[in-house]
């Protein structure tokens, strides 16, 4: 069934594909049968398939459209304690029914963001809310940024389109040389999994197909990580140049950026950058005079964290219900519309221009033997200098926190690093860790996306892990039982225990975590046990009263 719909949707991919048609039909009409029936007829699919897709997304549901303003309820905002104060102030301007919630807005350096009129706002001075709500344009909150590299890959100033894209366009004559440089760089995926990027290049390049794609996963909405948003808005051409280079190497002629709907400014900035490339002749039927076609297209997400999982993203872009695909086949050989696809995240693509310009060896030298290059790190509002930092792999975590981030403004007992599925690092372990995949893994943690969320000393660890279970239950695609049911049962266990109703059987919880870890189809359900286990190990004294 999915293959049939995928094939039908692909016929309209260059115009308005099934996903676009579903979003258009649902926006303003809700889940009314008439518009969905028209879409189903046009794309020769069933009403149930169209309804099942439309009803999946948070932004397309009726209760969402009834709201006028949305408060961020991501992990960083939750632990900061600012949400309720913001809500109380907003009640001076909106009714309770008009205020909604959304996760996450990528403003974790402020911890009090909200979405209004399709723009993201944030202020530490709540007395300014009335003035902010009158403005036509959003005001970007000031964030710190910096690097400990003399030759940063992503934070270097943008020199201009012509000079920046020249090394990329030269690849048409030497794709093998480009692959060799990227291989020497040992570039690993920056979305969290750390998969070698050159393996994807080779697999997709060698795959047979009359059509190939390059897809940028810009829907990775890990609360606490806002590096993707920074790149999309501050370094859009780094991302686009990396995608174009990938297309010239593998033979793809289309680059698709799937950007989360919670980042409206990112969508606007990227579309503007794509228009610049068209005006300079860098893209089109003869991209940069290479004799090769290449076009970019943007897909704006409709509110679903699971679309940050690569196969869910592909299904969503095709107009299917965004559930996780079983693998193999992998996207490199069977990706978007069933065609060979190189799919990677924003930061991975953003490093490619530097590697091609300066050489793989130079990029690799900024890191360790197994974790090469630099990594963007997001520091939340607990730090005195919150913001984005480009950090050489292998840098001591204590140096990042104290010297670059300036230390914290209030006592912190732990940091969750790598998103809601990342490990919980107790304050006592910071001096033992360096910023690289191996150091974190060997100590029982996960570097992941390198978003840092600070857990204040007063914040109950039981409430923190209950939040993680709740987040997973809400954001599960529902395809596999271990994730969908397991997260809900985990939340219920913690909720009853913290409410004094029933203590937790440790054996039952351990069985639940093992089932989720071993049986989930993707990292959402499979990754949740890690932070829970970390909490049980490092905060046993605090959590012991919850157990039999």
| Phi-psi domain of 455 (left: phi exceeds 0; alpha: psi -120 through 50; beta: other) | beta
330: its two tokens: 């992998």
pLDDT of residue 130: 86
Residues 6+ apart with CB under 8 A from 331: 215, 310, 311, 314, 341, 342, 343
Q: How confident is the model at residue 101 (pLDDT cuts 50, 70, 90)?
A: very high
DSSP 81: T
pLDDT tens digits, residue range 405-457?
999 999 999 999 998 889 999 999 999 999 999 999 999 999 989 999 999 99
- The CA distance from 149 to 158, in Å, is 17
- The CA distance from 72 to 100, in Å, is 9
Walk across the sheet containing 113-116 and list its strands.
99-102, 69-72, 113-116, 119-122
Residues in the chain: 548
**Over pLDDT 90: what percentage of the chain?**
73
pLDDT tens digits, residue range 375-392?
999 999 999 999 999 999
Q: Do residues 161 and 287 lie in contact, with contact meaning Cβ atoms separated by under 8 Å? A: no
- Rounded to the nearest 5 percent, the helix, strand and coil shares of the chain are 50, 15, 35
Q: Do residues 35 and 63 lie in contact, with contact meaning Cβ atoms separated by under 8 Å? A: no
- The CA distance from 91 to 236, in Å, is 36
Please give the span between the terminal C-alpha atoms of the chain, in angstroms, as a whole number.
48
How do the domains of the chain map onto residue ranges? 2-55, 64-142, 146-364, 461-541
Q: How confident is the model at residue 113 (pLDDT cuts 50, 70, 90)?
A: confident
Arch. (CATH architecture) of 461-541:
Up-down Bundle (1.20)
pLDDT of residue 382: 95
pLDDT of residue 143: 82
Pick the CATH number of 146-364 from 3.90.110.10, 3.40.50.11540, 3.40.50.720, 2.102.10.10: 3.40.50.11540
pLDDT of residue 140: 65
Arch. (CATH architecture) of 64-142:
3-Layer(aba) Sandwich (3.40)
Looking from the CA of 149 toward its CB, the CA atoms found within 13 Å total: 25
Residue 11 has pLDDT above 70, yes or no: no
Where do we find the tokens 């297209």? 297
Same fold, 64-142 and 461-541: no
b/e code 28-60 from CB counts within 10 Å (16+ = b): eeeeeeebbeebbeebebeeebbbebbebbbbb
Which of 33-47, 283-297, 488-502 shows the lowest per-residue confidence on average (mean pLDDT)? Answer: 33-47
Q: How confident is the model at residue 274 (pLDDT cuts 50, 70, 90)?
A: very high
Walk across the sheet containing 295-300 and list its strands.
295-300, 254-259, 213-218, 341-345
Residue 133 has pLDDT above 90, yes or no: no
- Using CB atoms within 10 Å of the CB of residue 385, give its burial: 0 to 12 exposed, 13 to 18 middle, 19+ buried: middle
pLDDT of residue 7: 66
Which of 103-112, 160-169, 328-337 shows the lowest per-residue confidence on average (mean pLDDT)? Answer: 103-112
pTM (2 d.p.): 0.94
83: its two tokens: 């949400």
pLDDT of residue 62: 82
Q: How confident is the model at residue 56 (pLDDT cuts 50, 70, 90)?
A: very high
Please state the φ and ψ torsions of residue 258, each to the nearest 5 degrees. Answer: -95, 105
For residue 289, count other CB atoms closer than 10 A to its CB. Answer: 10
Kindly state the average pLDDT of the residues 338-347.
Answer: 96
Cis geometry, peptide bond prior to residue 468 (ω within 30 degrees of 0): no
Residue 315 has pLDDT above 90, yes or no: yes
Which of 89-103, 116-130, 142-156 shows the lowest per-residue confidence on average (mean pLDDT)? Answer: 116-130
424: its two tokens: 């919980």
């Amino acid at each position: 069934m999915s293959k049939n719909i995928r094939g039908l949707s692909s016929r309209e991919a260059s115009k308005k594909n099934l996903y676009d048609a579903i979003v258009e039909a649902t926006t303003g009409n809700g889940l009314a049968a008439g518009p969905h029936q028209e879409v189903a007829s046009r794309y020769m699919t069933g009403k149930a398939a169209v309804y099942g897709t439309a009803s999946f997304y948070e932004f397309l549901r009726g209760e969402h459209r009834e709201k006028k303003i949305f408060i961020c309820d991501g992990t960083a905002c939750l632990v900061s304690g600012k949400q309720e104060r913001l809500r109380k102030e907003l009640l001076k301007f909106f009714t309770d029914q008009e205020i909604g919630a959304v996760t996450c807005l990528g403003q974790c350096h402020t911890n009090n963001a909200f979405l209004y009129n399709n723009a993201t706002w944030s202020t530490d001075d709540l007395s300014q809310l009335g003035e902010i709500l009158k403005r036509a344009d959003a005001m970007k909150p000031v964030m710190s940024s910096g690097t400990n590299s003399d030759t940063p890959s992503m934070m270097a100033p943008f020199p201009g389109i012509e000079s920046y894209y020249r090394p990329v366009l030269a690849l048409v004559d030497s794709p093998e040389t480009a692959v060799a440089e990227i291989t020497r760089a040992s570039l690993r995926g920056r979305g969290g999994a750390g998969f070698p990027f050159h393996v994807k290049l080779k697999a997709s390049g060698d795959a047979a197909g009359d059509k190939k794609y390059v897809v940028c996963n810009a829907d990775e909405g890990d609360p606490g990580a806002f590096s993707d948003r920074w790149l999309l808005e501050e370094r859009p051409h780094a991302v686009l140049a990396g995608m174009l280079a990938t297309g010239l190497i593998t033979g793809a002629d289309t680059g698709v950026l799937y950007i989360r709907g919670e980042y409206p400014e990112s969508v606007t900035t990227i579309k503007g950058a794509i228009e610049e490339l068209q005006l300079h002749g860098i893209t089109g039927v003869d991209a940069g005079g290479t004799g090769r076609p290449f076009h970019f297209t943007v897909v704006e997400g409709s509110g679903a964290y699971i679309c940050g999982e690569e196969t869910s993203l592909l299904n969503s872009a095709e107009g299917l219900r965004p559930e996780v695909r079983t693998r193999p086949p992998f996207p490199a050989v069977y990706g978007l519309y069933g065609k060979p696809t190189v799919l990677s995240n924003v930061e991975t693509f953003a490093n490619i221009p530097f590697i091609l310009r300066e050489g793989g060896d130079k990029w690799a030298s900024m890191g360790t033997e197994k974790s090469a290059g630099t990594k963007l790190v997001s520091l939340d509002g607990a730090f005195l200098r919150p913001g984005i930092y480009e950090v050489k792999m292998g840098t001591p975590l204590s140096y990042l926190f104290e010297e670059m981030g300036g230390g914290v403004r209030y006592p912190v007992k732990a940091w969750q690093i790598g998103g809601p599925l990342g490990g919980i690092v107790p304050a006592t372990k910071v001096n033992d860790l360096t910023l690289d995949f191996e150091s974190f893994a060997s100590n029982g943690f996960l570097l992941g996306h390198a978003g840092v969320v600070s857990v204040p000393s007063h914040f109950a660890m039981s409430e923190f892990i209950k939040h993680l279970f709740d987040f997973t239950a809400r954001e599960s695609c529902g395809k596999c039982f271990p994730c969908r049911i397991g997260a809900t049962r985990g939340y219920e266990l913690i909720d009853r225990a913290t409410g004094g109703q029933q203590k937790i059987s440790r054996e039952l919880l351990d069985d639940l975590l093992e089932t989720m870890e071993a049986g989930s189809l993707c990292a959402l359900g499979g990754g949740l046990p890690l932070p829970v286990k970390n909490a049980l190990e490092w905060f046993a004294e605090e959590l012991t009263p919850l157990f039999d």
